């Protein structure tokens, strides 16, 4: 049977289905699947239209080309609702922050034969090992992939990507593209800045044009961005005052805040309603010392963004580990409070830090009580009359303060996240006591089921494994199940750091594409 005949028969079969049903089926597919579907026959190439409501931008030339082409198209540009700026970086050996790598004579011989730098070969082998472990765990979804073990091909492609990024940055091409796109997308409602684009080996978090252009089985050191996520760092680096070269480490943040703020000043009726900075639990965030320098252009730009009428969502991860003078965070958080107070229309707010509570050295560097501030001194909840979601992650907290804070929430609250919290004093306060207090005082269990706030809780087990206990926490709150949390967690002895019972919750990888997140509407 010829290919053309097969296509005609496929078209004939599909042509009997109602268009409404076809559209419903197609709407459940990813753009990658729709692209494949469009290639099967002429009929489906016309029916199955790509959804270009989201566009990607980065310092990669291909992403800029596709972004600009969509912005130039008078039809496609009208459908764009979201810009995702990828601030991940490829690195050369000067970007390595590790003493683990010591090149061998074999590494140098391999470099002579292939041109592959010793550092790349060393870490490439580690990435191949990670990829094979992922394949072993997820054979159902990744059975069609065979890991490529061609270090030379990987290195050559990586160097091309690295060189492309360097050229874009030197010419500021991404800045011009972003400015142009903001002006050309009249229906834009969301801007996201992320460093998590590349996800994990074989399974990127987003399929940007650059990532889609690479062989699916290509292995290479994951691109990341910002301090705390650089390639194979031995320690979490200290951050410096927010000025000069220090700001360049957060180049994408500076670019996006400047251009979005400029756009909002020139277009006060812009429909942008969400401004999100996403690290997906990578140990990084925006330099906390930004809030020391409220005269900086970046802080001023954040104020402009927060002042925009109709801004409904703001996600702020903070880089707090490595701040040289960590004993008095109150002044920093006062400025966070001031910034958040400006956004009176906010409905979705998340705040996280990069504290690693599994790191035993943390307790030698930080005074727990001085890090534990009243939540109302950080979050101006009296300003948010229509708050629907609040996320707290990796904060020092007191049990009674969290309880009282939640009790003061508006009844519009639809969901709350309480992940990776560290209680003080550790020998008295804990998740178990908090949820006992919540169930006995908040009265959420007496609300109609549809009005009971969803609860998300992630905790860490020994070894850094992430456990999702959201379902168990909700069942305890609303259905009188057993309390899933243990009595306490000893910060002095890592082997005694338990938050939930061993048989409770689901171990998750937050970079797993199948991991279910709380979904919220686009405004």
Could you write out the DSSP letters of every residue in 226-275?
STTSSTT-SSPPPB--SSHHHHHTTHHHHHHHHHHHHHHHH-TT----EE
d(CA 443, CA 223): 46
**Residue 333 burial (CB count, 10 A):** 21
Whether residue 127 contacts residue 201, with contact meaning beta carbons closer than 8 Å, is answered with yes
d(CA 511, CA 32): 19
**Burial status of residue 149 (CB atoms within 10 A of its CB: 0-12, 13-18, 19 or more):** middle
Give CA angle at 20 (17, 23), nearest 5°: 95
User: Phi, psi at residue 409, to the nearest 5°?
Assistant: -70, 150
Residue that is written with structure tokens 């686009």 in the block = 522
Q: Which two tokens stand for residue 450?
A: 């549809």
Whether residue 259 contacts residue 301, with contact meaning beta carbons closer than 8 Å, is answered with no
d(CA 96, CA 119): 9
Nearest to 292 by CA among 240, 351, 356: 240
Residue that is written with structure tokens 């908040």 in the block = 442
What phi-psi label fits residue 425: left (phi over 0), alpha (psi between -120 and 50 degrees) or beta?
Answer: beta
Residue 11: what pLDDT?
55
Low-confidence ranges of the chain (pLDDT < 50): 1-8, 520-523
- Roughly how many angstroms between the first and final C-alpha of the chain, as a whole number? 49
Bridge partner residues of 54 (DSSP): 82
Residue 487: what pLDDT?
76
* Chain centre distance of CA 279: 4
Residue 372: what pLDDT?
78
d(CA 233, CA 92): 14
Q: Which two tokens stand for residue 451?
A: 């009005």
Strand, helix or coil for residue 419: strand
Q: Which two tokens stand for residue 180?
A: 């142009």
pTM: 0.89
Overall size of the chain counted in residues: 523
* Chain centre distance of CA 278: 3
Residue 498: what pLDDT?
65
d(CA 299, CA 304): 9
* CB environment 465-498: b (16+ within 10 A), e (fewer): ebbbbbbbbbebbbeeeebbbbebbebeeeeebb
Bridge partner residues of 56 (DSSP): 84
What phi-psi label fits residue 46: left (phi over 0), alpha (psi between -120 and 50 degrees) or beta?
Answer: alpha
Strand, helix or coil for residue 140: helix
Nearest to 272 by CA among 189, 191, 344: 189
d(CA 224, CA 88): 4
d(CA 388, CA 252): 29
Nearest to 473 by CA among 496, 498, 444, 446: 444
d(CA 58, CA 210): 9
Residue 202: what pLDDT?
84
User: Phi, psi at residue 81, to the nearest 5°?
Assistant: -115, -20
Residue that is written with structure tokens 């191949």 in the block = 128
Q: Where are the domains of the chain?
A: 1-51, 83-87+174-446, 99-162
d(CA 422, CA 99): 31
Residue that is written with structure tokens 């016309």 in the block = 46
Nearest to 260 by CA among 248, 247, 251, 272: 272
């Amino acid at each position: 049977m010829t290919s053309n005949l097969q296509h005609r028969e496929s078209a004939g079969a599909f042509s009997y289905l109602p268009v409404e049903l076809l559209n419903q089926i197609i709407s459940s597919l990813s753009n990658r699947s729709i692209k494949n579907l469009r290639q099967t026959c002429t009929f489906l190439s016309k029916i199955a239209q790509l959804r270009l409501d989201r566009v990607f931008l980065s310092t990669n030339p291909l992403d800029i080309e596709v972004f600009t082409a969509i912005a130039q198209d008078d039809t496609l540009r009208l459908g764009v609702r979201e810009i995702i700026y990828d601030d991940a970086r490829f690195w050369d050996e000067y970007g390595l922050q590790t003493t683990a790598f010591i090149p061998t004579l074999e590494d140098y011989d391999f470099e002579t034969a292939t041109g592959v730098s010793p550092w790349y070969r060393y870490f490439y082998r580690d990435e191949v090992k990670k990829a094979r472990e992922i394949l072993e765990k997820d054979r159902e979804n990744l059975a069609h992939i065979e890991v490529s073990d061609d270090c030379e091909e990987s290195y050559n492609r990586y160097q091309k990507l690295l060189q492309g990024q360097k050229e874009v940055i030197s010419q500021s091409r991404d800045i011009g593209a972003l400015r142009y796109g903001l002006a050309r997308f009249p229906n834009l409602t969301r801007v996201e800045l992320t460093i998590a684009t590349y996800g994990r080996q074989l399974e990127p978090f987003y399929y940007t044009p650059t990532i889609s252009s690479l062989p699916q089985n290509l292995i290479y050191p994951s691109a990341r961005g910002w301090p705390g996520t650089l390639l194979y760092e031995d320690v979490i680096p200290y951050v410096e005052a927010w000025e000069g070269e220090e700001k360049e480490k957060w180049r994408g943040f500076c670019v996006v805040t400047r251009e979005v703020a400029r756009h909002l000043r020139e277009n006060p009726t812009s429909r942008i309603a969400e401004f999100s900075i996403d690290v997906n639990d990578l140990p990084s965030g925006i330099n906390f010392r930004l809030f020391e320098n409220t005269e900086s252009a970046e802080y001023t730009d954040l104020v402009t963004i927060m002042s925009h009428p109709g801004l409904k969502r703001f996600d702020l991860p903070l880089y707090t580990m490595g701040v040289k003078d960590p004993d008095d965070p109150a002044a920093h958080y006062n400025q966070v409070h001031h910034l958040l107070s400006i956004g009176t229309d906010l409905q979705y707010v998340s705040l996280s830090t990069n504290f690693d509570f599994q790191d035993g050295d943390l307790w030698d560097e930080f005074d727990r009580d001085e890090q534990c501030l009243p939540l109302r001194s950080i979050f101006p909840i009296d300003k948010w009359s229509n708050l629907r979601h609040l996320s707290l992650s990796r904060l020092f907290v007191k049990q009674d303060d969290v309880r009282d804070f939640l009790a003061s929430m508006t009844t519009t609250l639809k969901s709350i996240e309480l992940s990776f919290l560290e209680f003080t004093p550790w020998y008295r306060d804990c998740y178990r006591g908090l949820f006992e207090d919540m169930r006995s005082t908040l009265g959420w269990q007496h609300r109609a089921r549809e009005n009971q706030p969803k609860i998300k809780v992630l905790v860490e087990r020994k070894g850094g494994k992430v456990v999702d206990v959201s379902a168990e926490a909700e069942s305890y709150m609303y259905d009188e199940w057993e309390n899933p949390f243990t009595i306490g967690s000893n910060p002095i002895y890592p082997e005694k750091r338990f938050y939930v019972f061993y048989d409770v919750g689901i171990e998750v990888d937050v970079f797993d594409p199948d991991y279910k997140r709380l979904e919220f509407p686009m405004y």
